[in-house]
């Protein structure tokens, strides 16, 4: 397996790992907040999240920034809770404030990136260059997030077109469910 494939697969597995469901929850609630016709805006938000994630991965691995892992592990579910509340309370207004959404996704990506940096740093070991592994890893991460977004879009299509459930109802339900999961995660980490 080439180095690119190895790091791409590692990034893909990182985001899709059911044991690391915090990332899945974040992308799920972010994706569910946008109607299907707004998919381009959603992809922009997912990319903003990946950029933030990539930045702090690189800065943490290079020892430019250091934040205690316990603090980051508490902040990650808080980012999910904030996104859930924002989605529930500001569903319709969220479309009008898209630039705020990009900044939040970027900022929350910074936090999530630090969460994985410690493990990735140990995995990189004595790599000569960090550029290629980080680039490959983050491409895998983005691909994994797009898999989650595609699943959310398919679920949304099924709920709206087959089951005839109003979008606002399932957005509220799924956001509330993710809020519950993130609350438990936060309490476990405190």
Does position 72 have pLDDT exceeding 60, yes or no?
yes
**123 pLDDT band (50/70/90 cuts)?**
confident
- Tokens in use for 188? 């476990």
Q: Which tens digit of pLDDT belongs to each residue from 96-108?
A: 556 778 888 999 9
- Alpha-carbon distance of 52 to 32, in angstroms, equals 20
- Alpha-carbon distance of 124 to 114, in angstroms, equals 15
DSSP 162: I
Highest mean pLDDT among 49-53, 66-70, 132-136, 179-183: 179-183
Q: Which tens digit of pLDDT belongs to each residue from 74-97?
A: 999 999 999 999 888 876 555 555
pLDDT of residue 151: 93
**pTM of the predicted model as reported, rounded to 2 decimal places:** 0.89
Where do the structural domains in the chain lie, given as residue ranges? 3-189
Question: How much is the CA Rg of the chain, to the nearest whole Å?
Answer: 17
171, 36 contact by CB (below 8 A):
no
**CA torsion, points 113, 118, 124, 125, in degrees to nearest 10?**
160
Burial 30-57 (b: 16+ CB within 10 A, else e): bbbbbeeeeeebbbebbbbbbbbbbbbb
């Amino acid at each position: 397996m080439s180095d690119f494939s190895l790091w791409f697969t590692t990034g893909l597995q990182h985001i899709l790992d059911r044991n690391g469901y915090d990332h899945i929850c974040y992308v799920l609630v972010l994706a569910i907040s946008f109607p299907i016709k707004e998919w381009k805006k959603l992809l922009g938000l997912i990319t903003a999240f990946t950029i933030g994630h990539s930045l702090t991965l690189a800065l943490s691995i290079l020892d430019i920034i250091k934040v205690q892992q316990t603090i980051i592990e508490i902040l990650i579910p808080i980012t999910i809770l904030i996104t859930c509340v924002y989605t529930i309370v500001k569903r319709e207004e969220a479309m009008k404030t898209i630039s705020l959404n990009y900044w939040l996704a970027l900022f929350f990506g910074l936090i999530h990136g630090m969460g994985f940096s410690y493990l990735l740093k140990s995995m990189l070991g004595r790599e000569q260059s960090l550029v290629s592994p980080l680039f490959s890893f983050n491409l895998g991460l983005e691909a994994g997030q797009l898999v989650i977004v595609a699943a959310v879009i398919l679920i949304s299509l099924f709920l709206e077109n087959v089951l005839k459930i109003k979008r606002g109802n399932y957005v509220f339900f799924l956001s509330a469910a993710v809020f519950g999961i993130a609350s438990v995660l936060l309490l476990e980490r405190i």
